Amino acid sequence: MALTLLRGLKTHSFRLYPSLHFTRKHGVVFFSTKSAQGQTAAQEKQHTRLKVSSKTDSVKFDEISKNYEAVIGIETHVQLSTLTKAFCSCPYTYGAQPNTSACPVCMGLPGALPVLNSKVIEYAVKVGLALNCSLSLSSKFDRKQYFYPDLPKGYQISQFDIPIALGGYLDVDLPVEFGGGHRKFGVTRVHMEEDAGKLLHTGNGNYSQENYDSFPIGIVDLNRAGVPLLEIVSEPDMRTGIEAAEYAAELQRLVRYLGVSNGNMQEGSLRCDVNISIRPIGQLEFGTKVEIKNLNSFSSMSRAIDFEISRQELLYSLGQADEIVQETRLWEEGAQKTVTMRKKEGLADYRYFPEPDLPGVNLSEEYVNEIRDSLPELPEMKRRRYENMGLSMQDVLFLTTDVNVAAFFDATIATGADVKLATNWIMGDIAAYMKNEKLSINDIKLTPQELGELIASIKSGTISGKIGKEILFELMAKGGTVEGLIKEKDLVQIVDPTEIEKIVDKVLANNPKQLEQYRGGKTKLQGFFAGQVMKETKGKANPGLLNKILLDRLNSKS
């Protein structure tokens, strides 16, 4: 399960001025797994601090809130999971020893030249198509120039004026807990670029070389340098922290469905920078926008945005709107607030120009069509299909969140299993088991075929629902087949009335005292007899049949 939204019960509050507390709705908790490949869920600690704010202050702030509208846009960097880097043949493994995956090209050594990995184009086209963009059949790479120690060439190979994909949108279904609803968020552009290296700081402000301690630079790790990224820029279409977090979560689902990235936020495979401004409702011009960085989870995204909106609203309402300046702010998870990272001194001039070391990127119609035809069913299509099967939106969102869960569900119903029953099993016992054992759906031993078989066996009456549950856990933990387990454990339900009659008679004969009491009016003892029969049959007697026969026998004057 990649992502589950649980209802956020908490509000979080913070103080800007001693005299005024205010709160935002929609505190959210996100649980996120490390990757689609089924690593265990790393649960995120919820840092929500509860502060009871005085009612009057809350009301006051709600009044303020009503007058403003937030405008939110998101820049997302998606690290592509190609086998090798964008412009050289180095592999990339997250967490490898520093500088063990670097070559003259990604180290930017004199004389080394980039050569494009064609998978990058393929993945970019996939994402472009999945985001309903129009593709630039003829695009190019450009150099974006700036100095930083993690940028070995002094420029980043990126795309400037002709991105590979333009003008699309992303469909999002908001969780039912947050009022639900469908949204279409615009996507401005998608472009390809290379990642930079990483600066490794040694702890406690002690930098590895004494000469460096006059400024905060430690070691440069170039393992990540040259890893392909897609930058996806949204239109400023989001209005709340939830909408923004859901946009990002949907992007994560999309890239995982497409298999182009593991979408893992903790490892930095999916990075979101958020731009926020607010404006009085009714005003057309945008306000001054603030960029927020360091958002390591959807939950921090949502909370950071809500904090920032409140901060700006408050400044507006106090007549201090001029204190909202164009700047980059950092989300501090510990303090649950945003703080100034750097104020922008005008627009940076990156001196973009076409990358002369790489030929232009030309896509043929055939190539694009081939990729379009090979696209898997995407989250939005799946949601609509499941909805049409009659599933509730809550069920739909649960099943489609993780591509592997959806695939499991699809494979289960392909065996002919009842849609609702399959959903209930997956969302109920299977999900609970996965959560307890910290397993993904691909880790459990149960196959969709066997789940289908299990559902069928219960439906046909071969086994009871109760036994079905027992088998399920066995199947999840150890594997095997439903048929095999039924045989092995002799679990076939007894549906032959004469056989049940025999056992009932035996039980009645063995308990004359209780029978007498029953016939003396203590009818509650029916349960006792049923239990005895079940004990005799090891739970295999068909309960309906058993009760019918038992009542017949108990009430018959023999």
Partner 1 sequence: MLSSAQTTPRLLRSPTTTAAAAALKCSSQIITTRKSLISRQTSAVDLAKSFLHRLRRTEPQLNSFLYVPPDEAVLKQAEDLDKKIKNNEELGPLAGVLVGIKDNICTYDMPSTAGSKLLENYRPPYDATAVRKLRACGAIVVGKTNLDEFGMGSTTEASAYQVTANPWDLSRVPGGSSGGSAAAVSARQCMVSLGSDTGGSVRQPASFCGVVGLKPTYGRVSRYGLVSYASSLDVIGCFGSSVADAGILLNSISGHDKNDATSSSREVPDYASQFLEIDDLESKPLKGLRVGVIRETLEDGVDLEVISSVRDAVSHLEELGCLVTEVSLPSFSLGLPAYYILASSESSSNLSRYDGVRYGNQVFGDELNSLYGDSRAQGFGSEVKMRILMGTYALSAGYYDAYYKRAQQVRTIIRNSFKEALDKNDILISPAAPSVAYKIGEKKNDPLAMYAGDIMTVNVNLAGLPALVLPCGFVEGGSKGLPVGIQMIGAAFDEEKLLKIGHIFEQTLQGCSFVPPIVADEWTP
**Residue 34 vs 144, nearer CB to partner 1:** 144
- Which residues, at least 6 apart from 429, have a Cβ–Cβ distance to it below 8 Å? 469, 472, 473
Spatial separation of the C-alpha atoms in residues 2 and 41, rounded to whole Å: 8
**Residue 155 vs 425, nearer CB to partner 1:** 155
Q: How far is the CB of 128 from partner 1 (least distance, A)?
A: 22
Residues of this chain that bind partner 1 (CB under 8 A)? 104-105, 108-116, 143, 145, 147-149, 152-155, 211, 214-215, 217, 220, 347, 349, 351-353, 356-359
Beta bridge partners of 69: 279
> How do the residues of the chain divide into helix, strand and coil, expressed in percent and rounded to 5?
40, 20, 40
Helix (H, G, I), strand (E, B) or coil at 25: coil
**Residue 357 vs 499, nearer CB to partner 1:** 357
**Residue 10 vs 140, nearer CB to partner 1:** 140
Residue type, 229: L
Q: How far is the CB of 103 from partner 1 (least distance, A)?
A: 9
Spatial separation of the C-alpha atoms in residues 154 and 143, rounded to whole Å: 9
Q: How far is the CB of 122 from partner 1 (least distance, A)?
A: 17
Least Cα distance to 198 among 220, 227, 228 occurs for: 220
Q: How far is the CB of 135 from partner 1 (least distance, A)?
A: 21
Q: Contact at 8 Å (CB) between 175 and 397?
A: yes
Q: How far is the CB of 82 from partner 1 (least distance, A)?
A: 17
**Residue 145 vs 415, nearer CB to partner 1:** 145
**Residue 17 vs 215, nearer CB to partner 1:** 215
Helices (H), 446-496: 448-459, 465-478, 482-488
Least Cα distance to 171 among 157, 161, 186, 158 occurs for: 186
Chain length of the chain: 558
**Residue 359 vs 390, nearer CB to partner 1:** 359
Q: How far is the CB of 87 from partner 1 (least distance, A)?
A: 9
Q: How far is the CB of 298 from partner 1 (least distance, A)?
A: 33
Spatial separation of the C-alpha atoms in residues 359 and 3, rounded to whole Å: 40
In 107-197, beta strands by DSSP E: 134-135, 138-139, 142-145, 155-158, 165-173, 182-194
Beta bridge partners of 194: 228
Least Cα distance to 23 among 32, 14, 31 occurs for: 14
**Residue 353 vs 473, nearer CB to partner 1:** 353
**Residue 18 vs 346, nearer CB to partner 1:** 346
Q: How far is the CB of 219 from partner 1 (least distance, A)?
A: 11
Q: How far is the CB of 199 from partner 1 (least distance, A)?
A: 11
Helix (H, G, I), strand (E, B) or coil at 216: coil
Q: Which helix (H) or strand (E) holds 334?
A: none
Give me 379's structure tokens.
């989250």
Q: How far is the CB of 97 from partner 1 (least distance, A)?
A: 18
Spatial separation of the C-alpha atoms in residues 425 and 413, rounded to whole Å: 12
**Residue 286 vs 353, nearer CB to partner 1:** 353
- The three-point CA angle 432-433-438 to 5° equals 100
